[in-house]
Structure 1
Amino acid sequence: MGTAMRVNYAGVVPLSTLDWTGKSAFTIFFRGCPLRCPYCQNHPYLEGTGLVELEFVEEKIKSSKPFVSAVVFSGGEPLMQAGIVDLAEFAKNLGLSVGIHTNGCYPERAAEMIERKLVDKFFIDVKAPLDDPELYGKVAGYESGETNISPSRTPEKITAAVAKTIKTADASGLEFELRTTVFRDFIGGEEEISRIVTWISENVKNKDVTYVLQQGIPEHSLQENLRDIRVLGREELFELGKIAKSHLKKVRIRTKEEGEEVV
């Protein structure tokens, strides 16, 4: 392990039952993300520097071990951090399962972790239909004006990277979950959900993949003009779940009111 390696740390949730259904998890948040989704809930983690030595995070993982069965790396975008590989190895050596929440922009690092058997489950965002780079770019904040996404990260490159991450996870045989955050009048209308799940059904070989529709919470949005939008209710989300269910076997919805429910 490189002694000088550091990670851009944001904080932890010592015990979470929400980040990995069925497991008690220690969730670690990292700063930094290549995207600027206007509805982002974790926007305080998008920028800023909280560099810490790997040992600092390892101690936190170690102290959580008696209480949890898994570590979840979240953010921000955890796969931006080179040190995540060493941290995952540390967690695995303690006997903990490792889960990764990712926007899918780092397929090479995902592949490295799979190859080294350092990840047990991926939770991958599918922000919009993957065959529509223009819409995906809008949802990822490509032209939001909030903060410029790197010009090299065009909508076409973003969608290609996400598709590659999904196919890499799919080919690995690992458990993974795909999820879409639904936001009224921004993303997640009936047609858009239909197009997303059609792509999944045509491109993902694992027919047991779980697809989750998440209720976006407007008041926490990065972009101020979205904060007053009316939240999509549980019944509305359930109806969208039924559309997804016509293409996929395992569909869930996640709301503030009822938590996670099977459709």
Structure 2
Amino acid sequence: MAKPLFDITPFTLLDYPHKAACIFWFVGCNMRCQYCYNPDIVFGKGKISVEDAVSFLRSRKGLLQAVVLSGGECSIHKDVKTIAQKAKDLGYLVKIDTNGSSPKTLSALLDDDLIDYVSLDLKALEADFRAITAASTFHAFEESYRILQSSNISFEVRSTVHSALHSRANIEAMIEYLYELNYRGTYYLQVALNNVRTITDLPDSTYNIANLNFETTKLPVVIRG
């Protein structure tokens, strides 16, 4: 039987807001984002089974409050619902990190009350989406956004930005786009990493926290280093 997880990060205080959590890294992805710094996960093979993942959660019961289902792209796995259900049965909060390409999976998880928080990645606007991601799922992202917007679940929208791929004008347009979609939460910008192996051989991004500030009255924009 295929093993869905590439790795487990046993402890983090950064990936679930205000909670002690672990991260389950699902192997594989249906995008090939140029700046992606997890090619081993995207192109790798699973190492950890569902049973081993559940065993890990049992061993951390009372020590951790939440589990983050990330990747890769967790929503493309048939086992994501099983793992989310097991985590909820054990009393964990569940967060998913998703590119929004699988709105049906997202909807099913919400319908069964299996997730508590979502980080939704806005990779780019439609005109640049395929060039950056090698995928044609922008409208699926929009559907996923609408599903979250009409739900009662807490969620955030975030973007990883690289100066070779996202100009300041592009980023400003993404802020405007989210505002027009009636998003009023915090928009998180994550600076693409330099000096790591990425899917595409990119020049170093010149963006950093100091020069990537956006003053806007439309949305709160927070830069994550």
TM range (shorter): over 0.9
Distance 1:12 1:195 in 2: 36
C-alpha contact 1:29 1:73 (8 A) present in aligned 2: yes
Q: Report the residue type matching 1:171 in the other structure.
A: S
Helix, strand or coil: the match of 2:170? helix
SS of the residue aligned with 2:63?
A: coil
**What is the CA distance between 1:65 and its match in structure 2?**
2.1
Structure 2 counterpart of 1:229, from 193, 200, 204: 204
CA distance in 2, matches of 1:165, 1:230: 29
SS in structure 2 at match of 1:219: coil
Equivalent-residue separation in structure 2 for 1:23 and 1:169 (angstroms): 21
**Given the alignment of the two structures, is residue 196 of structure 1 paired with residue 171 of structure 2, yes or no?**
no
Q: Following the alignment from structure 1 to structure 2, what is the Cα–Cα distance between the partners of residues 137 and 100?
A: 23
Flag structure 2 segments of 5+ consecutive residues without an equivalent.
none
TM-score, reference length from structure 2 = 0.93
Q: Counterpart amino acid of 1:234?
A: I
Identity of aligned pairs, percent?
27
* Aligned-CA RMSD value: 1.7
Kept after mapping to 2: 8 A contact 1:15/1:26 = yes
Match of 2:104 in 1: 108
CA offset digits 1:171-196 (Å, max 9, x no partner)? 11210011111111212x22111211
- TM-fit CA distance, 1:52: 4.4
Partner residue in 2 for 1:26: 22
**TM-score normalised by L of structure 1:** 0.80
| CA shift in 2, pair 1:224/1:137, >3 Å | closer
1-side partners of 2:3 and 2:46: how far apart?
8
Residue in structure 1 matched with residue 154 of structure 2 by the alignment:
175
Q: What CA distance in whole angstroms lies between the structure 1 residues aligned with 2:132 and 2:194?
A: 14
Q: Is the 8 A contact 1:13 1:27 kept in 2?
A: yes
How far residue 50 of structure 1 moved from its aligned partner, in angstroms, is 1.6
Distance 1:8 1:231 in 2: 35
If asked which structure has higher relative contact order (CA below 8 Å, sep 6+), I would say 2
Structure 1, gaps ≥5 residues long: 143-152, 256-263
Letter in 2 for 1:194: E
Amino acid at match of 2:186: T
Q: Does the 8 Å contact 1:216/1:231 carry over to 2?
A: no
Residue 254 (structure 1) aligns with: 224
Count of residues paired in the alignment: 225
- Please report how far the alpha carbon of residue 234 of structure 1 lies from its aligned counterpart in structure 2 after TM superposition: 1.3
1:206-234 CA-partner distances (Å, limit 9, x unpaired): 52x221000111222424531x4144121
Contact kept, 8 Å, 2:7 with 2:47, in 1: the verdict is no
Letter in 1 for 2:218: H
Cα shift readout 1:8-61 (whole Å, capped 9, x = no counterpart): 211111110121231111111011100001100111100232264421110011
